[in-house]
């Protein structure tokens, strides 16, 4: 016999602990979550039906060996079965006093309903006589027998469920009844025979009468269910590794369907929807567990059990409280009452809503069951995200789904719920909002920078093309606009002003509802709720704890002079209202203000175009002089909203053609005029200018600092506007801290050329205004060469900010939109890439380049401020990496600031002192 131990009875938890070194997480890995908890409940005196667990190691060995039990496993199972017989006083397979068993899966992480279970193992034509004699209930006995044959046939033998269900339905129809419970003992006896015939018909052999063969085959079925498609799909969706395996829990059957003094139920030790400290659940008398789940009968609220069985109810409350205190967590329990005796069949950490997760974590900390740090660690960042975005009322959405109103699905690019009338271009959307007060959903094939006005006006955005980091997605997340992109089933006809999808036609002006959380779009209006951070008192308290954890002085062990405190969280904000929202949400600065967004506003765009088309520096300066007051006003509001905190303003970055009319549309207009023998000289001239600006690869062309070198007047105007605004705000009694960011630096000489000119202008403005304040000039690290020469650049730049979207593009050699549209999804699905590098920092490549940049930069300037302002700044995994390499801050959308605060604290706790 093998010396390796594959099987543990529920009384052998100490032996399992010794096997894995007294590490409870490893015990769970060995016995599975269900098996570990059954053994633990047994240890602390909770009434658990006797049984044993076959380990996850045995499952993996079975699968690796081509579905063969490892040596010694079956023999150990039989030994554990003997111990179970001794404990129960029953004998497996005995005709007079039979022991009946269940065989259930039990993965390390809960995967409800994904793997297999077989009940009533041990019943056959002989043992059923003993069951009838012992219980005096023939109907109960044959009900259990037919359930075994049906479950064994479906789970173990793979016979389609429909074969049994159809036979059952036909039998009930013939008897003139609607429910299984209306069938008599004789009916169930005949039905059991019919089920056996189905097994013979499908498999060519009889249903196995040997109880040991039933147990062996059931064990194999549970092992094999680890690799069924639904389990694999669930693990992929939940991020559960595929190499964990499942345990098999073999437990003595206890029955809740033995009369009115028996019953079964499921419950949570606190309300899983609201977090209220009150037992929550349902039960049924004279029923088995599957009856509660299947809804065959109307279950009762758990509190009514006090009326039916007061002593059992009191015992149940005591056990529930004991389990919650023992595990220091809300428990989801299953129980059965057999003839007045309470048995606990399972306990596990309870799944809960986002609201309940926060409430429960805060309450448990206040009750002294867990620490504040533990409370912070128990709330997932995604749960915070869910809490702060408008959501559809679940029941209303379900009704819409049942009514067939869903017409499109796509990428859930920006979470939240939005309802409004459909409009197909940005200007119309903006007009409908501003002039008519409509709620608008902007629908486009894809969005461009000049669609921003419509996006900002809209309640939601829906596109037929694009991915999670497309323009629409990025802007929508920045401004907290619910957005679904890449809904490829939609065919948009801009001429007819309508879309069609899955047989549904939506015309301009029709109402639709967009769910950016799930990536769905529905015809009509669905009721929604819109929470605010101020309403979330428990969340505010939790985030306050998180901030203190992240800011602790002992969080990081970094080189002398580097920041030892944890990450701060800043926000990306282009307008004063965004900055105010960011501050309300807890941002400690503005990490990115994109000045080009301001240029797209309707009254400014013609001036910007005049500036671009100017043929002389004098003409360009004249146009810029018109823009200066607008830019100054923009920055004034930002500095006032963020008084006392840093505000990083990025100088103009995109190529100038983005501010011009579309070349193809202009060309079509010119050709159409010529066909009509009409010539529009203005359009012809404009087309010539746009064509002259054409670049083969504009994202690598004349933009960023290169544009500042070629046309220094533009950034000169911007710096003047920044410092005039800061001076005005200072004179009004506020405390501005401007930081000017020069984008796309690739060579230190670019900074040597432009930065001194800008610093000179800044000093001049302060002298003119008669005021002094702190400021910095720095650069955006987006080009790999800048990172590799960071020590040279840091001699001039006073801060670095990683633009990780472009840095990822340049490092991988990917065009972001093209990659997401053409191959990135396939790369992730096929395992070529572990995840989309535009959503989570690629630590091995882009991440290493960031690490090198930080080290080289601080070798030249030890107090160099370094942060991140790309989309990755709101991603928890990326935030953890930023913590590890010693960044000062991450900057993200205002709506993701609370998420980032939590993620920063969790990173600090996870890597304290590293």
Contact 110, 148 (CB under 8 A): no
Structure tokens given for 793: 């650049």
Cβ contact 30:16 at 8 Å: yes
515 close to 408: Cβ distance less than 8 angstroms: no
As annotated, the active-site residues are 471, 869
Q: Residue 96: which of 125, 126, 120, 123 has the closest Cα? A: 126
* Residue 251 contacts residue 50 (beta carbons within 8 Å): yes
Per DSSP, the three-state class of 485 is strand
- Beta bridge partners, 263, equal 285, 337
Counting every residue, how long is the chain? 914
Cα distance between residue 505 and residue 423, in whole Å: 14
Q: How far apart are CA 235 and CA 676, in angstroms?
A: 63
Start-end of H helices in 21-137: 24-43, 56-64, 73-88, 127-135
CA 675 to chain centre: 54
- Residue 231 and residue 113: Cα distance in Å, rounded? 9
User: Partners of 102 in the beta sheet?
Assistant: 251
C-alpha closest to that of 363 among 270, 475, 301: 270
Distance between CA 417 and CA 414 in Å, rounded? 10
Cβ contact 488:464 at 8 Å: yes
Query: Helix H segments across 176-210?
Result: 185-203
In whole angstroms, what separates CA 189 from the centre of its chain? Answer: 49
Six-digit token pair at 812? 């991988």
In whole angstroms, how far apart are CA 610 and each of 613, 624, 626, 660? 5, 9, 10, 10
Q: Token match 């301009």: residue?
A: 508
Q: β-strands 391-392, 528-529: how paired?
A: antiparallel
What are the Cα distances from residue 211, in Å, to 6, 128, 150, 214? 21, 12, 16, 5
Count CA atoms within 13 Å of residue 538 on its CB side: 21
Specify which residues 442 forms β-bridges with: 423, 461
Contact by Cβ (8 Å): 295, 376: no
DSSP structure class, residue 846: I
Contact between 448 and 442 under an 8 Å Cβ cutoff? The reply is no
Tell me which residue has tokens 């009319």: 661
Residue appearing with tokens 């719920």? 417
Supply 376's token pair: 């912070």
The whole-angstrom separation of Cα 443 and Cα 493 is 11
Sorted by sequence, the CB contacts under 8 Å of residue 483 that are 6+ apart come out as 413, 414, 460, 461, 462, 463, 472, 473, 476, 477, 514, 516
């Amino acid at each position: 016999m093998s010396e390796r131990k594959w099987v543990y009875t529920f009384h052998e938890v100490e032996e399992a602990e010794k096997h894995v070194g007294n590490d409870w997480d490893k015990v769970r890995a060995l016995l599975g979550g269900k098996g570990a908890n059954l053994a633990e409940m047994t240890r602390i005196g909770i009434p658990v039906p006797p049984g044993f667990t076959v380990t996850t190691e045995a499952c993996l060995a079975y699968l690796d060996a081509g579905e063969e039990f490892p040596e010694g496993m079956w023999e150990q199972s039989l030994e554990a079965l003997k111990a179970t017989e001794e404990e129960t006083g029953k004998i497996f397979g005995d005709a007079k006093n039979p022991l009946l068993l269940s065989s259930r899966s039990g993965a390390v992480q809960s995967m409800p309903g994904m793997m297999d279970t077989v009940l009533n193992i041990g019943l056959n034509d002989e043992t059923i006589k003993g069951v009838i004699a012992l219980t005096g209930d023939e109907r109960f006995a044959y009900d259990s027998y037919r359930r075994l044959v049906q479950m064994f046939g479906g789970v173990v033998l793979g016979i389609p469920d429909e074969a049994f269900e159809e036979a059952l339905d036909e039998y009930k129809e013939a008897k003139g009844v609607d429910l299984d419970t209306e069938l008599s003992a004789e009916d169930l006896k005949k039905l059991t025979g019919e089920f056996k015939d189905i097994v013979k018909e499908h498999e060519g052999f009889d249903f196995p009468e040997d109880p040991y063969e039933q147990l062996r085959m059931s064990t194999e079925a549970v092992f094999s269910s680890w690799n069924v498609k639904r389990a694999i799909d669930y693990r992929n969706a939940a991020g559960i590794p595929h190499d964990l395996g499942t345990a098999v829990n073999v437990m003595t059957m206890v029955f809740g369907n033995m009369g009115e003094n028996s019953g079964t139920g499921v419950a949570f030790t606190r309300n899983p929807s609201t977090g209220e400290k009150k037992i929550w659940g349902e039960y049924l008398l004279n029923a088995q567990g599957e009856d509660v789940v299947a809804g065959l009968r109307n279950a009762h609220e758990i509190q009514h059990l006090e009326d039916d069985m007061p002593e059992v109810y009191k015992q149940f409350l005591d056990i529930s409280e004991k389990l919650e205190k023992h595990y220091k967590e809300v428990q989801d329990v299953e129980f059965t009452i057999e003839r007045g005796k309470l048995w606990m069949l399972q306990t596990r950490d309870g799944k809960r809503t986002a609201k309940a997760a926060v409430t429960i974590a805060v309450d448990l900390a206040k009750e002294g069951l867990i620490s504040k740090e533990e409370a912070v660690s128990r709330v997932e960042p995604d749960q915070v995200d869910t809490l702060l975005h408008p959501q559809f009322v679940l029941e209303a959405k379900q009704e819409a789904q049942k009514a067939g109103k869903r017409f499109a699905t796509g990428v859930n690019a920006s979470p939240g719920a939005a309802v409004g009338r459909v409009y197909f271009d940005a200007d119309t959307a903006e007009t409908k909002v501003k002039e008519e007060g409509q709620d608008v959903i902007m629908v486009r094939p894809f969005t461009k920078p000049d669609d921003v006005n419509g996006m900002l006006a809209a309640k939601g955005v829906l596109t037929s093309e694009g991915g999670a980091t497309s323009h629409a997605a990025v802007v929508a997340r920045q401004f907290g606009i619910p957005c679904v992109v890449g809904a490829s089933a939609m065919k948009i006809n801009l001429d007819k002003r309508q879309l069609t999808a899955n047989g549904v036609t939506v015309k301009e002006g029709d109402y639709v509802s967009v769910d950016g959380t799930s990536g769905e779009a529905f015809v009509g209006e669905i009721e929604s709720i819109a929470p605010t951070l101020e309403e979330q008192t428990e969340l505010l308290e939790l985030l306050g704890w998180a901030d203190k954890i992240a800011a602790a002085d002992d969080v990081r062990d970094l080189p002398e002079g580097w920041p030892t405190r944890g990450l701060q969280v800043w926000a990306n904000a282009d307008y004063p209202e965004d900055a105010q929202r960011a501050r309300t949400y807890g941002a400690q600065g503005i990490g990115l203000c994109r000045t080009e967004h301001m240029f797209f506003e309707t009254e400014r765009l013609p001036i910007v175009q005049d500036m671009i088309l100017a043929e002389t520096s004098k003409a360009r300066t004249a146009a810029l002089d018109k823009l200066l007051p607008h830019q100054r006003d923009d920055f004034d509001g930002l500095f006032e909203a963020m008084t006392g905190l840093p505000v990083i303003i990025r100088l103009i970055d995109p190529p100038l053609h983005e501010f011009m009319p579309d070349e193809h549309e202009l060309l079509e207009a010119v050709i159409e005029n010529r066909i009509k023998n009409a010539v529009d000289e203005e359009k012809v001239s404009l087309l010539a200018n746009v064509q002259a600006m054409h670049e083969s690869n504009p994202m690598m062309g004349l933009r960023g600092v290169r544009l500042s070198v070629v046309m220094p007047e533009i950034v000169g105007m911007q710096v003047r506007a920044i410092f005039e605004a800061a001076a005005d705000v200072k004179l009004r009694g506020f405390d501005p801290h401007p930081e000017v960011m020069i984008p796309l630096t690739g060579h230190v000489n670019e900074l040597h050329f432009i930065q001194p000119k800008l610093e000179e202008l800044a000093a001049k403005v302060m002298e003119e205004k008669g005021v002094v304040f702190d400021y910095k000039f720095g650069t955006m690290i987006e080009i790999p060469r800048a990172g590799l020469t960071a020590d040279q650049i840091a001699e001039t730049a006073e801060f670095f900010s990683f633009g990780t979207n472009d840095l990822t593009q340049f490092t991988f050699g990917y065009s972001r939109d093209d990659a997401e549209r053409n191959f990135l999804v396939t790369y992730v699905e096929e395992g070529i890439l572990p995840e989309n590098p535009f959503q989570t920092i690629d630590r091995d490549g882009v991440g290493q380049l960031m690490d090198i940049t930080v080290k080289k930069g601080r070798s030249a300037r030890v107090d160099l401020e370094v942060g991140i302002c790309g989309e990755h700044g709101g991603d928890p995994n990326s935030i953890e990496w930023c913590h590890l390499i010693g960044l000062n801050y991450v900057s993200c959308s205002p709506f993701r600031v609370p998420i980032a605060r939590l993620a920063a604290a969790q990173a600090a706790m996870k890597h304290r002192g590293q």
